[in-house]
Amino acid sequence: MAKVASRPTTNRMMSIDDPREARRIIRGGEYDGHTAGIAPEYVQGNLCILPRELATDFAAFCQRNPKPCPVIGMGAPGDPALPDLGDIDIRTDVPRYRVFKDGKLTDEPADIRKYWSDDLVTFVIGCSFSFEAPMLQEGIRLQHVDRNTTVPMYRTSIDCVPAGPFRGKMVVSMRPLAPADAIRAIQITSRFPAVHGAPVHIGLPEAIGIRDIMRPDFGDAPEMKPGQLPVFWGCGVTPQVAVESARPRICITHKPGAMLITDKRNTSLAAL
């Protein structure tokens, strides 16, 4: 029901600048769409909730793979609050969730109160929305924003450093840029290590195992214009791939695009 019912509220949500107000609406079950463009000055995060016995290994996986898996918040075991990121109840404050049991998607609920237990640990992982904002502010045009599509993402041949049962290839997002913009984008995103940081690759897709740049594994196909280079950043889908391979008895993520909206300003994540 929520999916249809929510649509009329989309435009209203898009005009909300205050993350607390956006979460209040989401918490009330009045919105389950995607969160791109809502409270645009504030950090949004990828969600990954795991059982306590896997939390140390997952923390290590993220620590070893900071480009694709930058942790911006962790909950205490069993505690749905995330006070560092705002007045958040992680059981209700994301528009739509995905519940995986033994690696299989079993539910896409609007809240996870019935799944919550004292045993669960919340991880919030940085998202490229936070580094796209300063690129746009400096006048760099981003194709997927201009076209209102989802950024193309690719499975690469780059191995993540494993930790416990977590392993897999790095997933990257790609933005086509003219060389001067690419150089500036490298400088800008280097300032944001907490949200993927500098690119992991530029220019030669085949060198990282991408056979056809026009056929991404996730998101929408790009348009490669003459004079543009593909620029690749570590992507927050990477931890989901690693979690799939670990097949935890339970794992809860956000539904792609329906992220956690936090009270942290994007600018607060700049290293300098």
Is there binding between residue 159 and a second copy (CB under 8 A)? no
For residues 73 to 112, the per-residue mask of contacts with a second copy, x marking binding by CB under 8 A and - elsewhere, is xxxxx-----xx----------------------------
d(CA 121, CA 119): 7
Q: Are 230 and 224 in contact (CB under 8 A)?
A: yes
Q: Taking contact as CB under 8 A, which single stretch among the options 1-9, 57-65, 144-152, 218-226 is the one that binds a second copy?
A: 57-65
d(CA 94, CA 172): 24
Is there binding between residue 197 and a second copy (CB under 8 A)? yes
CB-count exposure of residue 8 (10 Å: 0-12, 13-18, 19+):
exposed
Query: Which CB atom, from 174 or from 188, has the smaller least distance to a second copy?
Result: 188
Is there binding between residue 64 and a second copy (CB under 8 A)? yes
Query: Which CB atom, from 109 or from 165, has the smaller least distance to a second copy?
Result: 165
Tell me the CA distances in angstroms from 88 to 91, 153, 164, 262, one per residue in order: 9, 29, 29, 8
In the chain, beta strands by DSSP E: 42-51, 71-74, 97-101, 104-107, 120-126, 153-159, 169-177, 201-202, 229-234, 251-254, 260-265
d(CA 97, CA 94): 7
How far apart are CB 162 and a second copy at their closest, in Å? 9
Is there binding between residue 260 and a second copy (CB under 8 A)? no
Is there binding between residue 272 and a second copy (CB under 8 A)? yes
Is there binding between residue 121 and a second copy (CB under 8 A)? yes
For residues 126 to 155, the per-residue mask of contacts with a second copy, x marking binding by CB under 8 A and - elsewhere, is ------------------------------
Query: Which CB atom, from 150 or from 190, has the smaller least distance to a second copy?
Result: 190
Q: Which positions lie near a second copy, rule CB under 8 A?
A: 52, 55-57, 59-60, 63-64, 71, 73-77, 83-84, 121, 161, 163-164, 187, 190-191, 193, 197-198, 271-272
